[in-house]
Structure 1
Amino acid sequence: MRTGLIERDTAETRIRVGVNLDGTGTYDVHTGIGFLDHMVEQFSRHSLIDVEMRVDGDLHVDQHHTTEDSAIALGQAIADALGDKGGIARYGQAYSPMDETLARVALDISGRPYCVWRAGFSQTKLGEWDTELIEHWFQSVSQTAGITLHIELLYGSNNHHICEAIYKGFARAMRKAVEIDPRKGGAVPSTKGILGG
């Protein structure tokens, strides 16, 4: 099994994140931010990546550190579980509809982090979560997991639907990208022989 575990303690957050890329989509998520919990749970369920996430952050200050550090640790755990990335499909993409909303996510587990965000929200909060932090969450995951990530909202009006469609699209794209392709015989999917160089 391809698993990763990250424990990260700073003056701002204490975090434990574990993933199993060959899981069934089970999750145990507690960040202290209800809507963020809901989105990480959606990611786990639809990617089939098992996720354990425990965050004790300085929410008395604001939500920035908890949001950012949860994403950093998740990305690190995914990178740890991927190892040298031998045999993976590498690329993934998904169109994700939710009622009136349609999002598109495409990604490459390239080892070259880059996040393109073409989405937005018309309200400042979802539950108690600041919507300006959602883009930052994806930027942080892509940075530490080494993912080239493109997220685009094609259309939509309900902010909850927009966020959920994006997370589910990311999940479905990750599910495809981390899968082992038996035809590759464990080879790293790059003509250079490495990913990220």
Structure 2
Amino acid sequence: MAPKAAKKAPAKAPAKTTPPSQPLTTPGTGGRRAYVARATKETSIAAAINLDGTGKYDIKTGIGFLDHMLEQLSRHSLIDITLRAEGDLHIDYHHTTEDAGIVLGECLSKALGDRAGIRRYGSAHIPMDETLTEVALDASNRPYLIWKVNFSKPKLGTMDTELFKEWFQAFAQLGGLTLHVWNHYGDNNHHIVESCFKGLARALRVAVELDPRQLTAVPSTKGVL
């Protein structure tokens, strides 16, 4: 009789950690900065941003493609971003992706404060080879997402393409953005999603910029956003 095959030990979930004991920072001094840490049973994420940065980033989520997209966001918005995330990637990428959007959105809103002096609106058309995507936003503190983006494949590498909407939804909700993302056309799924993040970056760069003509005024007839 052949010997019985040894049973495989059950896979262990990665060890979870709490947010760093020392707050993360972004390079340099000055500027409109914020730090947010968030820990749940699913993820542990901390992030720091500087709205008046130069587009420097130090981002580690454990999801390579998401890192790449958030690096694009930082570089093209000129918002410095430092982010560390640990999540239940042994399940899937959903919680880490969504919660990264939540934490960065909270950072954005915190750094904007009462939103006095900002230009408030921003928009961009981003071409990437065969792809064209339009992004328009209002930093109104009234969250809303319109997402007119379709993908022809369910995954990009190991990442589900449906998760990109989850990230944008979380970021808009916690960042207080009315955000419209519209992919006009495109064939390459990588180009489509990257143009969405670059479009968001360029629109944010304009919207959060301080307007020297109204540095102390909230850009609303209501006097508050």
Instruction: Give the equivalent residue in structure 1 for 2:203.
Output: 173
Report the more deviating stretch, 117-126 or 36-45. Answer: 117-126
SS in 2 for 1:6: strand
Residues in 2 aligned to 1:186 and 1:125: alpha-carbon distance in whole angstroms: 46
Q: Does residue 1:186 correspond to 2:220, yes or no?
A: no
2:111 corresponds to = 81
Shift of 1:185: 2.9
Aligned residue among 84, 93, 105 for 2:135:
105
Question: What are the equivalent positions in structure 2 for 1:1-197 lying under 5 Å apart?
Answer: 1-195=31-225
Residue 72 of structure 1 deviates from its aligned partner by 0.1
- 2:157 & 2:73 partners in 1: Cα distance? 18
SS in 1 for 2:213: helix
Amino acid at match of 1:110: S
Identical-residue share of aligned pairs (%): 60
The one-letter amino acid paired with 1:156 is G
* Residue type of the alignment partner of 2:128: M
Contact 1:23 1:50 in 2 (8 A): yes
Amino acid at match of 1:29: I
Look up the equivalent residue of 1:8 and give its one-letter code.
R
- Provide Cα deviations, 1:93-126, integer angstroms capped at 9, x if missing partner: 0000000000000000000000000011111111
Higher relative contact order (CA 8 A, sep 6+): 1
Judge conservation of contact 2:118–2:215 (CA < 8 Å) in 1: no
SS of 1:169's equivalent?
helix
In structure 1, runs of 5+ residues without a counterpart are none
Q: SS of the residue aligned with 1:184?
A: coil
| TM-score, with length taken from structure 2 | 0.86
Amino acid at match of 1:88: I
Matches of 2:123 and 2:167, distance apart in 1: 19
How many angstroms apart in 2 are the aligned matches of 1:185 and 1:177? 14
Q: Which runs of 5+ in 2 are unaligned?
A: 1-30
Contact in 2 for aligned 1:34/1:127 (Cα 8 Å): no
Q: Output the CA distance in 2 between the equivalents of 1:69 and 1:77.
A: 12
Residue identity in the other structure for 2:121:
Y
User: C-alpha offsets along residues 26-59 of structure 1, whole Å, 9 cap, x if unaligned?
Assistant: 0001001100000000000000000011000010
CA distance in 2, matches of 1:186, 1:169: 28
Question: 1: distance between equivalents of 2:201 and 2:33?
Answer: 17
Which structure features the higher share of helix residues? 1
Encode CA deviations 1:51-97: one digit per residue, 9 max, x unaligned: 01100001011111000100000000000000000100000000000
Q: TM-score, normalised by structure 1?
A: 0.98
- What letter matches 1:123 in structure 2? K
Structure 1 stretches of 4+ with a deviation exceeding 3 A read none
